[in-house]
Structure 1
């Protein structure tokens, strides 16, 4: 055989000949059809493995107009919340016979646009997206929506009305619960480190913070309210600015746990005793917040519930077709929960 010539792959016909069954039966068995006996399915799968049969998913998709593949775009796979959501989605989709293609936008709109085109060209049956922090242009999803392909936005969702389904946490209530908790422990000078207001997450969490302060007739020191990229370095810089004057905060609400951990590190290094001098609460219930000392109070987002709801809604869309626009405009909101620990 020529070195440049690929070996011919076995097909369904080869499996059918080996088992003395019809090609149609082999096809149904490989597709886990309920009318095929379990023993037949087992025999077919064993013979397929023995012959080195490799299913051509693309060809099957072209015939049926379904690839049983769902695309997922997230900002960063390493983020705890998204990692948990991805695990739940993949496990749940697998039970329904769907595969998941996971893509990472690196929080770049240009990358998100490129990935949306790639997934569309890959003929995914649906797309799940957590937007970048600059969600202003969604035209790269128009092709999918216009083709009747369900698009579900979760967590980070478009700020404007868009003809897709939204699934998000109750971030306003999360911000409100966090701030009320600090107020109920006796705090009056509460600072807030939040993300950029281009994202629905930080708009809502900040709005919850401000509502709680207003209801309890506490003034907000605008010099202690930060809207920035929530990195370790930015958190330390914000802490430096807050604690360089004579009047300092007695509490801090951080819009994510990465910031809360960095703030606690700064406090330890500068002789600020938590929770005696400064009470703190974060957001997302990152596992590190429960093992650090002192453990950090936080808001639980229930990523497992988010993932399950995404798949429930998606299966309904794939079965019954696109929702009406007015139904899509109403987001599915997942409740959040206050987790009190030693930092407050």
Structure 2
């Protein structure tokens, strides 16, 4: 079957016996064109199936009016919420969002960066893969002064705009909460330490143990992709022999919910025998039984700030330089999985990283 040829403004002009420039102005609602002519042109455009060529227009004015977004997975609550907020905010400023997911593949991330650059996006926002350690594929955006914003999963050292959660404080707060509830033997299930998020959350976890004079035990640490299958594998190790831990800090809510389900199957009561805290405040954590205590990462605020940063850079691109990261606050959402009176007095001072 032959491909249907694209109709152009030349075809519309020929059908109506008008000049190409008149058709172009009518399609763009030029005030010098009469309402009657505009109506005729638009009706003929619909009849012929005319589609404006945004790419060609972008080449003419050097603006595509599109922003590229690369996230690990659109199916996860946190990046999905950020994506929705970003799209809404950018559309208010006349920009469309091209959404890409790396599926936590470094090779796919590199390919997507090159594709979006070739597509002439006006800016790029990225939450990197778990395993990205070489960020040189982003240099082309910096070299061409195209706005680039890293968020959530970010490079530890990069001269770019960075917007991230307070993961150190999040790790500290989660562990401190379990300690205040009386937990003395705490397991932490972390993501891989190739990712900035988990480096900082583990550092916060260690700081809380140190501040409350509890030992850090390597045998109570797990570093893995935070999937349901990996959570089940960790549970089999954790509960293979007694004594069982009295608290678990899971670095995402999928893992926390999986632990809760596993405990139900081996008659470990939550929160009486084991207290659990997750991370991200996924809506599922609120409707489980018992509901899951979690760390909220303010995804709406992060989405708004990433969109705002892109708009600011589009108006006045900043020269590449070392910038302090913008920190989005976290907050503890206490629910039934860690229920109980505080039996330890809270620390008086906010923790410092060093």
Equivalent position SS for 1:343: helix
2:107 corresponds to: 110
Equivalent position SS for 2:337: coil
- For 2:245, which of 240, 246, 249 is the aligned residue? 249
Maintained 8 Å contact 1:180/1:212: yes
Equivalent position SS for 1:58: helix
Specify whether residues 38 and 180 from structure 1 end up closer, same or farther in structure 2 by C-alpha distance, changes over 3 A only.
Answer: farther
Maintained 8 Å contact 2:9/2:23: no
1:85 is aligned to 2:86? no
2:61 corresponds to: 64
Equivalent position SS for 1:85: helix
Distance 2:276 2:34 in 1: 59
2:91 corresponds to: 94
1:195 is aligned to 2:180? no
2:337 corresponds to: 343
1:144 is aligned to 2:138? no
Instruction: Report the alpha carbon displacement of residue 285 of structure 1 after superposing the two structures with TM.
Output: 0.8
Deviations 1:72-113 (A, max 9, x none): 111111111111111111111111111111111111111111
Deviations 1:167-217 (A, max 9, x none): 111111111111111111111111100011110110111111111111111
Aligned length: 338
1:259 corresponds to: 255
Further displaced range: 280-289 or 4-13: 4-13
1:11 is aligned to 2:5? no
Distance 2:36 2:311 in 1: 29
1:1-344 to 2 correspondences below 5 Å: 4=2, 6-7=4-5, 9-11=7-9, 14=12, 23=21, 30=28, 48-49=45-46, 52-159=49-156, 161-326=157-322, 329-344=323-338
Q: TM-score, with normalisation over the residues of structure 2? A: 0.87
Maintained 8 Å contact 2:12/2:23: no
Distance 1:181 1:37 in 2: 69
Distance 2:104 2:35 in 1: 46
Specify whether residues 10 and 225 from structure 1 end up closer, same or farther in structure 2 by C-alpha distance, changes over 3 A only.
Answer: same
Alpha-carbon RMSD: 2.9
Specify whether residues 177 and 27 from structure 1 end up closer, same or farther in structure 2 by C-alpha distance, changes over 3 A only.
Answer: farther
Gaps of 5+ in 2: 339-354
Deviations 1:283-336 (A, max 9, x none): 00111111110000001111111111001000000001124513xx31111101
Distance 2:32 2:188 in 1: 59
Deviations 1:236-281 (A, max 9, x none): 2222222223322111100001110111111111110000000000
Q: TM-score, with normalisation over the residues of structure 1? A: 0.89
Distance 1:16 1:321 in 2: 43
Distance 1:236 1:315 in 2: 43
